[in-house]
Amino acid sequence: MHTTMETPATTTNLLHPSKRLRQRYRAERWFKRLGLLAIVLSLAFIAFLFFSIFSDGYTAFKQSYIALDVNFAAEEFTQAKLAHANFPGLVKKAMHSMFPEVDSRRGKKELESLVSPSAAYKLQDMVEEDPKIIGTTQKVWVLAGDDVDMLLKGKIDRKEKQSNRRLKDNQLAWIDRLISDKKLEQKFNWNFFTAGDSREPELAGIWGAVKGSFLTLLITLTLSFPIGVASAVYLEEFAPENKWTDLIEININNLAAVPSIIFGLLGLAIFINFWGLPRSTPIVGGLVLSLMTLPTIIIAGRASLKSVPPSIREAALGVGASKMQTVIHHVLPLAMPGMLTGTIIGMAQALGETAPLLMIGMVAFIVDIPGSITDPAAVLPVQIYLWADSPERAFTEKTSAAIMILLTFLVFMNSLAVYLRKKFETKW
Amino acid sequence: MELTSNQTHPAFPTLLSGAVHQESEQTRSQAYTTGRKTVGTPFVDKPRMTCRDVEVYYGEKCAINKISIDVGCNEVLAMIGPSGCGKSTFLRCLNRMNDTVPSCRVVGSICLDETDIYHPSVDVVPLRAQVGMVFQKPNPFPKSIYDNVAYGPRIHGLTKNKVELDEIVETSLIKAGLWEEVKDRLLEPGTGLSGGQQQRLCIARAIAVSPEVILMDEPCSALDPIATARVEELIAELRTQFSIVIVTHAMQQAARVSQRTAYFHLGDLIEVGATDKIFTNPKHRLTEDYITGRFG
Amino acid sequence: MKVTSILAAGALTLAITAPAMAARDYISIVGSSTVYPFATVVAEQFGKTTGSKTPKIESTGSGGGFKLFCGGVGVNFPDITNASRAIKPSEMKTCAENGVKDIIEVKIGYDGIVLANAKSAAPLQLTRKDIFLALAKDVPDPANPEKIIANPYKTWKEVNSSLPATKIEVLGPPPTSGTRDAFVELVMDAGCETFPSIKAMKKSDEKAFKAVCQTVREDGGYVEAGENDNLIVQKLQANPDAVGIFGFSFLDQNTDVIQGSIIEGEKPTFEEIAKGTYPVSRPLFFYVKKAHVDVIPGMKGYLAEFASEKAWGQDGYLADKGMIPMPQDERKKYGEVISSLKTMEMK
């Protein structure tokens, strides 16, 4: 390594690098440090984000339940239909029997509010499932109200003045008695994974949104993957090179950068207003998200087709394969990992999208679990948005829990993309 | 694609005159007219392929300039010349691999067993089965050794059942001198073989569809000397069944494996002759300059 | 390959569900984000107790709701739209033009708009005049009330000497929100009219009057905090000097961290709003397409659920969620509107 022309390359010179060389090394060190700092900073931000979401949300996976001794007295079920029985009344009676000393009207109302309104639905389900329990007394674990749940999770401050608390002193005393009687417990919140949306935080679940997301992405995948791959193959392998294909290429690249809400407007105009497809349904959502995902898939597909070495094409053509056989037998399988990666990344984008869905009415309160692509459905990010906007305090933890679920799906999809890329990487 | 013996092609007079002008500037030897006369013996009796007045254009640029040559049966024809002289381009015309280059245009006639392969009704798929090709860089498919060889017979429907296919694969690999080395690992990926083995696998793949002619485009340039020697032996063996056209940069290789040698220079075919004659007693000055190392 | 099986599954799903598109067996509701938290409770209750499909409710804002609602008659258009204000004549006209002629208007209750700050600060005692002076873009010159000048006030004390000397920083909804419309109308306009010169202007030059009274300052005193009221509540906790504007239900749910400001001597409590003494409250409505009542299953059931005492009554579950119920006679009146499906007069 000659540093200066005058001094001959001696051992001393090698041991004592010149000023210029030292400067070069210093610059290199600084660059490395800055790079490291950037990585550390971004990791810190991610860690902070994950920590705050997790610390807010982990409590949502437990829910408070109250044990009630419900007397399904036969005289309560005199109506023609079981559904018309006074189930809320049964819940109230069970509560009153636990605290017989409460006799004022106001006191009774405060007592009743400890139990979630969903308790009545649970009793109704039990009776409809097995009418034989009429006439018996059953011990039933029902959901506690959201305020009770918040108290047990330490999110309501007992030391606060009574007027400022959502739970009054007498309610706190009842809750303490229930806890000491082992009639108020936190249990794993299965309901969160099996229920649809609800306006009662203790009853709200993510399953409706997960299924909505699944159906929507199914449509998106079904449409955008074959169309995207076919377009990429045509443009890359078959299309003549002229100004039309250049124009198409420019437009595809533009489309990839178009704000997603535009696709929502387009979807509203074409799929709903012109085709008359039903609003708020996965089919429309899937169509709109396909429009959004297609450019991503086409661009990724073309890039991975380009990366297939021409020698493979020549080899196939050289033994007499037709153009189509060359593409299908050799080029496409080699490009497939890249295409799948692009598709998965596109799907992950689609999974996190709300803006275009706003325009087509998927940002909606939907309780029933969607059964098909024409049932109204919400999707995961929409559910997060709706819960974040709800007044009840207990929805805060549900929001964070839903974000955790969404992040889990996203991390899973992106890892799958990385795995596919690693697994099928350059085998020629 | 009709045969024209005129000095200028009636359809492309301007193109040709442009090309001539360009070349007369580039060439430091004597001036010549279009379609410089080839010295030596370009034609043989009972040829397998006949090429007459072949011109190749990349867009406006003329890459091959009125070449006429025959490829005999059971012979190895070596094509030598400095880089960019058009020998690879010409080779790729022989099985219409140049079709994949959109700007490439071929004029003149190339016949395989008296069929003009550029005739509009000729299908390139069976053509490429009859005129196989081996490339510069070994390019096995990223599939198993078996599937590499079986691919051609499969797409051309040459076999009725698995037994026949197995037979073809085995004979092809035997002919390519690879059988002993790979017979126990036919299902392993072809890309896992060494460079020389890969190239022999590519040769096996080419001969699996029983071609009449095999084109080899510098098949040994990516191989070490031992692998090269092995492939050269193989070429000598294959000559008994196929016609082989080989492009090479190594003149020793041309001298070792070929019966006839053609010297290309800037898109012209300068001299063709028996290999021993060309290397010992070249008739044309350009050929002499090249093989004695004064030029190129 | 797996891809093919996924594709096949997708195609199958499409094929199976295609015929289901023809009809709609659930109620489609759009409209105000203020009514949304109340309508959703009723919808859920209706769905869970009757076994019918739960109505689908989109929160589109009152204006957006009317636009969709008035789009036409048929399964592709919503059956009901919620609104935090009465329908405008122009919207009625659009409706009529698109064949939506028979509309049932139902008032469901009231909502209070509150100003609130963090518990850690002292509660504010405000008048609508104070709020107007603090938030308007242009205000009358204190020296010469005839002259309109750009808002000079930086602290609450400058507005009214009895208020603390903290910087004016109000977090409120953006112009697209119904809450903002109601706030401007109920607070700003009223505060504005306390100045005789401006009040006179209302008759002479309504446009100028609106420009003065309804334009909110843009120099940082008023911060548009988005439609998410929870966000405002969190920001108030973090910044004790800031004041937030939002619907009563959010105050009701967060009484441990924020406190409502007293306006014209009235506290924003459930009782005061219900009595009508708290000045900043507005009625909430929903509008029903009569043509859909017998076509879409469950319409009558949903309407009946809404109009039941256990829902919109004094102690009903809507009151628990923070909606202010109507007085007894109003409930009776609108209950009859629902049972008789009495349509509005088209203007």
Is residue A212 left, alpha or beta, with left meaning phi > 0 and alpha meaning psi from -120 to 50?
alpha
Kindly determine whether residue A329 and residue B151, on different chains, have CB atoms separated by under 8 Å.
Answer: yes
Closest CB to A374 among C20, C43, C315:
C20
> Is C345 within a domain?
no
Poorest-pLDDT segment among A25-39, A392-406, B96-110: B96-110
Task: Tell whether A124 lies on the interface with C, counting CB pairs under 8 A.
Answer: yes
- Residue A321 CA to residue A329 CA, distance in Å, equals 9
Size of chain B, expressed as the number of residues it contains:
296
Give yes or no: residues C270 and C121 share one domain: yes
Angle formed by the axes of helices A282-306 and A207-233, nearest 10° = 40
pLDDT on residue C347? 55
Between the CA atoms of A190, A193, A199 and A200, what dihedral angle is there, to the nearest 10 degrees? 10
Smallest CA–CA distance from C16 into chain A, residue:
A372
Position B23: which residue type?
A: E
> Is C347 within a domain?
no
Q: Give the model's confidence band at B12: pLDDT under 50 very low, under 70 low, under 90 confident, else very high.
A: very low
pLDDT per residue over A34-57, tens digit each? Answer: 999 999 999 999 999 999 999 988
Task: Tell whether A320 lies on the interface with B, counting CB pairs under 8 A.
Answer: yes
- Residue C269 CA to residue B191 CA, distance in Å, equals 79
Q: Give the model's confidence band at C6: pLDDT under 50 very low, under 70 low, under 90 confident, else very high.
A: low
For residue C255, pLDDT over 70 is answered with yes
Give yes or no: residues C225 and C289 share one domain: no
Give yes or no: residues C127 and C244 share one domain: yes
More confident residue, C301 or B3: C301
DSSP state of B97: G
Kindly determine whether residue A365 and residue C17, on different chains, have CB atoms separated by under 8 Å.
Answer: no
Kindly determine whether residue C54 and residue A272, on different chains, have CB atoms separated by under 8 Å.
Answer: no
Q: Report how many domains make up chain B.
A: 1
> Is C346 within a domain?
no
> Is B4 within a domain?
no
> Is C261 within a domain?
yes
Rounded to the nearest angstrom, the minimum Cα separation between A242 and chain B is: 11
Tokens in use for B285? 């000055």
Closest CB to B155 among A313, A325, A428:
A325
> Is B15 within a domain?
no
pLDDT on residue A389? 84
pLDDT on residue A253? 92
pLDDT on residue C20? 40
For residue B167, pLDDT over 70 is answered with yes
Mutate to test the interface with A, among C58, C69, C229, C318 (most CBs of A within 10 A): C58
Task: Tell whether A366 lies on the interface with C, counting CB pairs under 8 A.
Answer: yes
For residue C68, pLDDT over 80 is answered with yes
For residues A53-64, average pLDDT: 91
Mutate to test the interface with A, among C12, C21, C237 (most CBs of A within 10 A): C21
> Is B112 within a domain?
yes
Residue B259: strand, helix, or coil: coil
User: Which domain does B218 fall in, by range?
Assistant: 38-291
Mutate to test the interface with A, among B100, B136, B213 (most CBs of A within 10 A): B100
Percentage of chain A surpassing pLDDT 70?
A: 96
Q: How many CB atoms lie within 10 A of CB B198?
A: 23
More confident residue, C200 or C113: C113
For residue C226, pLDDT over 80 is answered with no
> Is C250 within a domain?
yes
Kindly determine whether residue C37 and residue A390, on different chains, have CB atoms separated by under 8 Å.
Answer: yes
Size of chain C, expressed as the number of residues it contains:
347
Query: What domains does chain A contain, in order, with CATH numbers?
Result: 59-188 (no CATH), 207-424 (1.10.3720.10)
Kindly determine whether residue A322 and residue B125, on different chains, have CB atoms separated by under 8 Å.
Answer: yes
Q: Domain holding C252: CATH number?
A: 3.40.190.10
pLDDT per residue over B129-163, tens digit each? Answer: 899 999 999 999 988 999 999 999 999 888 888 99
Task: Tell whether A427 lies on the interface with B, counting CB pairs under 8 A.
Answer: yes
Rounded to the nearest angstrom, the minimum Cα separation between B151 and chain A is: 8
Token pair 């010295």 is at which residue? B39
Task: Report chain B's mean pLDDT, rounded to a whole number.
Answer: 83
pLDDT on residue A166? 80
For residue B22, pLDDT over 50 is answered with no
* Beta-ladder partners of A123: none
For residue B15, pLDDT over 60 is answered with no
Residue C259: strand, helix, or coil: strand
Give yes or no: residues C100 and C216 share one domain: no
A133-142, A225-234, C238-247: range with highest mean pLDDT: A225-234
Task: Report chain A's mean pLDDT, rounded to a whole number.
Answer: 88
- Residue C76 CA to residue C292 CA, distance in Å, equals 11
Give yes or no: residues C100 and C121 share one domain: no
Whether A and B touch, i.e. at least 3 CB pairs below 8 A, reads as yes
Task: Tell whether A277 lies on the interface with C, counting CB pairs under 8 A.
Answer: yes
Restricting to C residues 120-179, those with a Cβ less than 8 Å away from any Cβ of A are none
pLDDT per residue over B241-263, tens digit each? Answer: 899 999 998 888 999 999 999 99
User: Which domain does C326 fall in, by range?
Assistant: 2-110+283-340
Separation in Å, CA B33 to CA B55, B65, B90, C163: 15, 11, 20, 105
Last residue of a domain, one of C240, C262, C281: C281
Q: Give the closest residue to A265 by CA, choosing from A291, A231, A239.
A: A291
Is residue A320 left, alpha or beta, with left meaning phi > 0 and alpha meaning psi from -120 to 50?
left
For residues C107-125, average pLDDT: 90
For residues C254-267, average pLDDT: 88
Whether C and B touch, i.e. at least 3 CB pairs below 8 A, reads as no
Q: Give the model's confidence band at B18: pLDDT under 50 very low, under 70 low, under 90 confident, else very high.
A: very low
For residues B17-21, average pLDDT: 35
> Is B19 within a domain?
no
Q: Domain holding B68: CATH number?
A: 3.40.50.300
Percentage of chain B surpassing pLDDT 90?
A: 30
Kindly determine whether residue A221 and residue C54, on different chains, have CB atoms separated by under 8 Å.
Answer: no
Last residue of a domain, one of C281, C299, C318: C281
- Residue A373 CA to residue A282 CA, distance in Å, equals 5
DSSP state of A103: -
Poorest-pLDDT segment among A215-224, A415-424, B203-212: A415-424
Rounded to the nearest angstrom, the minimum Cα separation between A369 and chain C is: 10
More confident residue, A36 or C223: A36
Binning chain B into helix, strand and coil, the percentages to the nearest 5 are 40, 25, 40
For residue B33, pLDDT over 70 is answered with no
Helix or strand run (H / E) with residue A65 = strand A62-71
For residue B24, pLDDT over 60 is answered with no
Q: Report how many domains make up chain C.
A: 2
ipTM score for this prediction: 0.79
pLDDT per residue over A335-354, tens digit each? Answer: 988 899 899 999 999 999 98
For residue A423, pLDDT over 60 is answered with yes
Are B219 and B199 in contact, with CB atoms under 8 Å apart? yes
Helix and strand counts by DSSP (H, E) for chain C: 18, 13
For residue C243, pLDDT over 90 is answered with yes
Are C69 and C78 in contact, with CB atoms under 8 Å apart? yes
Restricting to A residues 37-76, those with a Cβ less than 8 Å away from any Cβ of C are none
> Is C315 within a domain?
yes
pLDDT per residue over A111-170, tens digit each? Answer: 888 998 888 888 888 888 888 888 888 899 999 988 899 999 888 888 877 777 888 888
Percentage of chain C surpassing pLDDT 90?
A: 28
For residue A9, pLDDT over 60 is answered with no
Kindly determine whether residue A280 and residue C56, on different chains, have CB atoms separated by under 8 Å.
Answer: yes
Q: Give the closest residue to A327 by CA, choosing from A255, A234, A209.
A: A234
Give yes or no: residues C135 and C268 share one domain: yes
Token pair 């400095």 is at which residue? B82
Task: Report chain C's mean pLDDT, rounded to a whole number.
Answer: 85
- Residue C66 CA to residue C86 CA, distance in Å, equals 10
Q: Which chain B residues are within 8 Å of A320, Cβ to Cβ?
A: 124-129, 152, 155-156, 209
Task: Tell whether C316 lies on the interface with A, counting CB pairs under 8 A.
Answer: no
Task: Tell whether C51 lies on the interface with A, counting CB pairs under 8 A.
Answer: yes
Closest CB to C250 among A121, A165, A391:
A391
For residues A56-82, average pLDDT: 86
Give chain B's contact residues with A (Cβ, < 8 Å): 95, 97, 100, 102, 124-129, 132-135, 137, 139-142, 151-152, 155-156, 189, 191, 202, 205-206, 208-209
Q: Give the model's confidence band at B201: pLDDT under 50 very low, under 70 low, under 90 confident, else very high.
A: very high
Phi and psi torsions of C150, nearest 5°: -65, 145
Kindly determine whether residue C58 and residue A364, on different chains, have CB atoms separated by under 8 Å.
Answer: yes
> Is C291 within a domain?
yes
Give yes or no: residues C258 and C217 share one domain: yes
pLDDT on residue C63? 86
- Residue A381 CA to residue A363 CA, distance in Å, equals 9
Kindly determine whether residue A391 and residue C229, on different chains, have CB atoms separated by under 8 Å.
Answer: yes
> Is B18 within a domain?
no
